[in-house]
Amino acid sequence: MDFKYLAAYSIPLSVLLGYYAGGIFYWLTPVYTFGLVPVLELILPVNTGNLNQTEREQKKKLVLFDLLLYLNILMVYAIVFYTLYLLKFGEHTPLEIAGIIFSCGIAMGSNGINVAHELGHRPDRLSKTLAKVLLLPSLYMHFYVEHNFGHHLHAATKEDPATARFNQSVYSFWITSVLRQYRSAWQIQMRLLQQDNKGFFSLQNDMLWGGLLECVYLVLIGIMAGWQIALFAVIMALVSILMLETINYIEHYGLLRHKMNTGRYERVQTIHSWNSNHVMGRIMLYELTRHSDHHYRASKKYQLLDYHQESPQMPYGYPTSMVLSLFPPLWFRIMNPLIPADMKPQAA
């Protein structure tokens, strides 16, 4: 069972198979991710089981689970650069180009940003550095700062850019979340530098050097492959960003923490994130779908995350829910009744 997370590589594999077959198969990855996987989630049983203490101690020490994450770095960069090569030297119709870009962007989101999210929570410097490396092709390196020092502090509050409000559509959320997270990341970064008595040009300024690395990345692509290919790289990054933000949208939609008499928010509990035990989403996203436990104890490695009965449960898995969120009236109809009454705006 330890090798079940190899299923996470099915998305990069679908990209390569699509590229090999060509033509209409350039769209294989979008169809697989948001067509076949949701169907499989409906068919396969939901698994609410947790590890016992013996299993937990064994899996905590297994290097395999870390290696499965690290391998994504090679795969993501290989796919990104092969995609740019394909776009540069291949002859494709506009529809095929769109399929190639969407396929690569999905892989960058699922195996890039998602894995970077997991590694970014690790305490060691190597994991944190690798997280930033994985965020580079998505041009979203500020995610490391905002997510770790902002989102986990403010999750399920109005102050959190990555928490979707009740009756907010995913399309509105894309705009507000992206813009507010970037602004928040700079505010957090400047506060951290001030606390450590570091200047703006300090090596600890992740926002400055991350932004410069992203510019260098695009300029090098433009010089070596042409500016049209650099534009394609930007669009691929945008696809991966929107994939991440759609996940952000469904993870906390409508859930809010209450303020105590002191004016401070109650502590983040397992009731403040949507949870899903649908098998396909769990293993393909490295247990990201057990998001309630992740926010309750962010330092927990993905293979150790638990299911909590009191956590709000999504009726469908994450991939399926991402598709449903693209149809706001349907999404509201399904999800709004599931939000606890005391978290809805009229209860305030």
Q: What is the pLDDT of residue 183?
A: 98
Residue 348, pLDDT above cutoff 50 = no
Q: What is the pLDDT of residue 232?
A: 98
Listed residue (302, 299, 170) closest to 244, CA to CA: 170
Q: Output phi, psi for 211, to 5 deg.
A: -65, -40
Domain interval for residue 326 = 2-347
Tens digits of residue pLDDT in 309-324:
999 999 999 999 999 9
Structure tokens at 208: 């400055």
Residue 106, pLDDT above cutoff 90 = yes
Q: What is the pLDDT of residue 309?
A: 93
Percent of the chain with pLDDT over 70: 99
Q: What is the pLDDT of residue 295?
A: 94
Q: Output phi, psi for 111, to 5 deg.
A: -105, -5
Q: Which long-range contacts (CB under 8 A, 24 or more apart) does 46-49 make?
A: 46/277, 46/278, 46/279, 47/277, 47/279, 47/282, 48/277, 48/307, 49/307
Q: What is the pLDDT of residue 173?
A: 98
Q: What is the pLDDT of residue 299?
A: 87
Tens digits of residue pLDDT in 140-192:
999 999 999 999 999 999 999 999 999 999 999 999 999 999 999 999 999 99
pTM of structure: 0.96
Tens digits of residue pLDDT in 329-342:
999 999 999 999 99
Alpha carbons 200 and 166: distance in angstroms, whole number: 38
Residue 346, pLDDT above cutoff 90 = no
Alpha carbons 19 and 82: distance in angstroms, whole number: 10
Alpha carbons 3 and 265: distance in angstroms, whole number: 40
Tens digits of residue pLDDT in 278-299:
999 999 999 999 999 999 889 8
Total domains present in the chain: 1
Residue 228, pLDDT above cutoff 80 = yes
Residue whose entry in the numeric block shows the structure tokens 């590229």: 19
Q: pLDDT class for 45, splitting at 50, 70, 90? A: confident
Structure tokens at 187: 């505010």
Q: pLDDT class for 81, splitting at 50, 70, 90? A: very high
Task: Output 263 or 99, whichever has higher pLDDT.
Answer: 99
Tens digits of residue pLDDT in 234-275:
999 999 999 999 999 999 999 999 999 898 999 999 999 999
User: Which one-letter amino acid corresponds to residue 323?
Assistant: V
Listed residue (161, 335, 170) closest to 254, CA to CA: 335
Beta bridge partners, 46, equal: 278
Tens digits of residue pLDDT in 47-66:
999 999 999 999 998 999 99
Q: What is the mean pLDDT of the chain?
A: 96
Q: What is the pLDDT of residue 2?
A: 78
